[in-house]
Amino acid sequence: MKSNRIFSITLAVVMSGFLAVNSAHATTWTVTQLTDNSYDDGPPQVYGSNVVWEDENMQIFLYDGNSTTQLTNNTYGEDPQVSGSNVVWYGQKNGAAASDFYKHAPSLSNY
């Protein structure tokens, strides 16, 4: 769901404990809802138009500015981080005792 909002007042945004203040005049913001479910999603990490987060079931998702892709399936992911088109997280695959690191790097033809 997208909506355009025009603000002519000081705007304060809190995301993951970070406070950003924008006091520009007549700034146009586009708000895009990325999730629509009945539970809390993990804190997002943002790099450019890429956003990653984990859901209640510890699955990792990537929004690339156009669409959302689920990156994990039964690999319980935690603390996803994004840099460019690279996404990394740690987790336990199929109930393993130890955590491992994972990386998702799509082909450049996708970006």
Q: pLDDT (tens digit, 9 = 90+) per residue, 47-90?
A: 988 999 998 888 999 998 889 999 988 767 889 999 988 999 98
The answer to whether the beta carbons of residues 13 and 35 sit under 8 Å apart is: no
- List Cβ neighbours of 77 (8 Å cut-off, separation of 6 or more): 54, 58, 59, 60, 71, 89, 90, 91, 102
**Mean pLDDT value across the chain:** 74
What confidence score (pLDDT) does residue 100 get? Answer: 86
Longest dimension (CA), the chain: 53
Residues 58 and 14 in one domain: no
Residues 58 and 85 in one domain: yes
Which domain covers residue 23, as residue numbers?
A: 1-33
Which one is predicted more confidently, 10 or 39? 39
The answer to whether the beta carbons of residues 36 and 62 sit under 8 Å apart is: no
Global pTM exceeds 0.75: no
Residues 60 and 99 in one domain: yes
The answer to whether the beta carbons of residues 99 and 91 sit under 8 Å apart is: yes
What confidence score (pLDDT) does residue 108 get? Answer: 47
Residues 16 and 53 in one domain: no
* Structural domains of the chain, count: 2
Residues 101 and 62 in one domain: yes
Residues 44 and 29 in one domain: no
Residues 55 and 27 in one domain: no
